[in-house]
Amino acid sequence: MRLVADAGENAWVVTCGGAATKVSGVAGTFEVVVDGAPAPEGAVKVSDNVYAW
């Protein structure tokens, strides 16, 4: 799995991982969860299985 968060020229993060992963950077904090997992506390759903703070 690969997650790319792009908020402009100097605000992006990339992470690769297994079933679930979390990454933070200038673009924000993002977490991918496995199917059926609850949403992380305080997070907003960005897309299926992807949440942001």
How many degrees, rounded to 5, is the angle at CA 31 between CA 47 and CA 45?
A: 30
User: Which of the pair, 31 or 25, is modelled with greater confidence?
Assistant: 31
- Prediction pTM value: 0.79
The full set of domain ranges for the chain reads 2-52
Is residue 47 exposed (0-12), middle (13-18) or buried (19+ Cβ within 10 Å)?
exposed
Mean pLDDT over 29-37 rounds to 93
User: Which of the pair, 27 or 45, is modelled with greater confidence?
Assistant: 45
